[in-house]
Amino acid sequence: MSGGCLLVGALALTASHGFALEWTHSVQRTSWREQWRVADSALVLESAAVRSSGAGMEPGDGAVLRGGWWVWPVGRPVPEVVLAASGTTGAGWRLCVDAGCVSLGATAGAPVHLAPCAQ
């Protein structure tokens, strides 16, 4: 079951419309967003957006300013995404799928792995 199923640790979530990751940069205190798509054996980063630029937060190639956000296409597939859970970034990550949003990694703990569900 893939192409719309996202594993978040040991939890399988429906992500037929993809998923979004949002967080606040720990140093710059600037918002960052990414739109992802679940493919058969990969997660595909479709686009990224940043509220303002700063150290390690430069907009990517082809970025356009849209509604106060620098938005750019990416299209890069990866087998998984690993979110470090240091507990020092404030809020961690916000993951949004079809059914709603959850917070991840706000407190110190093991890294959170995101991957397509096994076929």
Residue type, 52: S
* Contact call for residues 49 and 70 (beta carbons, < 8 A): yes
Residue segments in the chain with a per-residue pLDDT below the cut of 50: 1-2
CB environment 52-77: b (16+ within 10 A), e (fewer): eeeeebebeeebeeeeebbbeebeee
Share of the chain above pLDDT 70, in %: 84
The predicted pLDDT at position 116 comes to 93
How many Cβ atoms from other residues are within 10 Å of residue 79's Cβ?
9
Q: Which two tokens stand for residue 57?
A: 């937060």
* Contact call for residues 66 and 72 (beta carbons, < 8 A): no
HEC string of 1-42 equals CCCCEEEECCEEEECCCCEEEEEECCCCCCEEEEEEEECCCC
pTM of the model: 0.81
The predicted pLDDT at position 92 comes to 83
pLDDT digit string (tens) for 67-80?
A: 989 899 998 899 99
